[in-house]
Amino acid sequence: MTADVPGRTGLSLSELAMVPVRLAMSFIDAPLRWVQKTFGLGGMATFFLLPNMLIFGIFVLLPFFINFAYSMTGGTALFLPDRSFVGTDQYARLFDCANYLDPNSCVEDTFWTAVGNTGWFVVLQVTLMIGFSLVTALILNRDLRARSFWRAVFFFPVLLSPVVVGLIWKWILQRQGLLNFGLFSFGFEPHVWLNDRTWSFAATVGVSIWAHMGFYTLIILAGLQAIPKDLYEAAEMDGTRTSRVFLRITLPLLMPNLLVVIVLVLIRAVQIFDEVYVLTGGGPGTSTLYLTQYIYETGFATQLRNPGLAAAASILMGVVLVVLTLLQLGLSRPSEKKGSRK
């Protein structure tokens, strides 16, 4: 039921609301018809992709080329025209080592320390993140009481900013923090967690898992819910063991989601910076100094800043990420082909 608008127009409220929409459509109709007539359907696809590609070019491709240009220059000047061209000297400086396994034998010992820390962090964080996310998704996929509540609980840390995450856990782990208060209440001696090299490194791994596990759990949970229940019912009728059902049904059908999770976790782990910088600042010493923090401090935070060296390190990190991602995608193709043949 519609009401007439007072006056001589006789238009209903719904028709009146559609007037601006029709005006807008008629305004853009002529250019779209011209594009289709001039360039065809392929040109229409390019026309609609152009704004997104323009944004991508301005904020991704252009900074990449500028960064590469910086990596070929030297000096402490910030602006590119004021910097001198040095070619590949910055890359040669990063790789100037007598023994790559011993950072102290390198000219840029801090860089290789950050590389070593990042490597260990990636191995531990990626492995534990995928394991915890998979187990959590399997549990949340069951018919639990208050299942929606528990899903929200695990996803809630993802909504927090990395700075907030770092501040929360710094408050918990500091000398007079919540954890030491709990230990002291039960008669244990308090410990300075963030001043211990081993515990501070473990804290960065654990905090990163706590902060991001909910997102990856959600991706795996979506994959679990997409698996047809008929397969599980048929396996149950055949008396198949639970472990065999997981290995033969759940895991193969979950591989596309797991591949996405592995790639995303790997990229995030290599680029770890924000919550670790707030939590430990790279300390104690250089025990939690990771590659992104090294790039930041070399390019901006120190008095003798070297933007060219920082740019070279960031280019190398990007190349490593691309290679690892392509390697993972390449390794996943044979398993996908086997699954499709079956």
Give the residue among 62, 84, 57 at the shortest CA–CA distance from 307.
84
Note whether 287 and 117 are within 8 A (CB): yes
CA distance 202 to 234: 43
Taking only Cα atoms into account, the Rg of the chain, rounded to an integer number of angstroms, comes to: 27
DSSP secondary structure string for all residues of 189-249:
PP--GGGSHHHHHHHHHHHHHHHHHHHHHHHHHHHHHTS-HHHHHHHHHTT--HHHHIIII
Look at residue 36 in the predicted model and tell me its pLDDT: 78
E strand or H helix that includes residue 85? strand 84-85
User: What CA–CA distance (Å, rounded) separates 72 from 58?
Assistant: 21
CA separation for the pair 214, 220 (Å, rounded): 10
Task: Fill in the DSSP letter of residue 96.
Answer: -
pLDDT of residue 11: 64
SS3 of 193-208:
HHHCHHHHHHHHHHHH
pTM, rounded to two decimals: 0.84
What's the pLDDT score for residue 1?
Answer: 44
User: CB neighbours of 174 closer than 8 A, spacing ≥ 6?
Assistant: 180, 193, 194
Which among 127, 163, 115 has a CA at the least distance from the CA of 275? Answer: 163
79 vs 66: CA distance, rounded Å: 11
pLDDT along the chain (342 residues), means of 10: 48 73 75 78 80 92 94 89 93 93 92 95 96 94 85 92 94 92 89 92 96 95 92 87 90 91 93 94 94 94 88 94 85 60 52
Element (DSSP H or E) covering residue 74: strand 73-74
* Strand 73-74 versus strand 84-85 pairing type: antiparallel
Measure the CA–CA gap between 282 and 42, rounded to whole angstroms.
51
pLDDT score, position 31: 77
* Of the candidates 103, 107, 104, the residue with the CA atom closest to the CA atom of residue 89: 107
Instruction: Number of helices (H) and strands (E) in the chain: give both, helices first.
Output: 14, 2
Looking at 72-174, list the stretches that DSSP marks H as alpha helix, in order from N- to C-terminal side. Answer: 89-94, 109-140, 147-155, 162-173
Q: Which residues contact 163 (CB under 8 A, 6 or more apart)?
A: 274, 275, 278
- Tokens encoding 276: 């670790």
Domain at 89-332: CATH code = 1.10.3720.10
The answer to whether 28 touches 44, Cβ cutoff 8 Å, is no
C-alpha to C-alpha distances, 145 to 55, 216, 223, nearest whole angstrom: 45, 22, 21
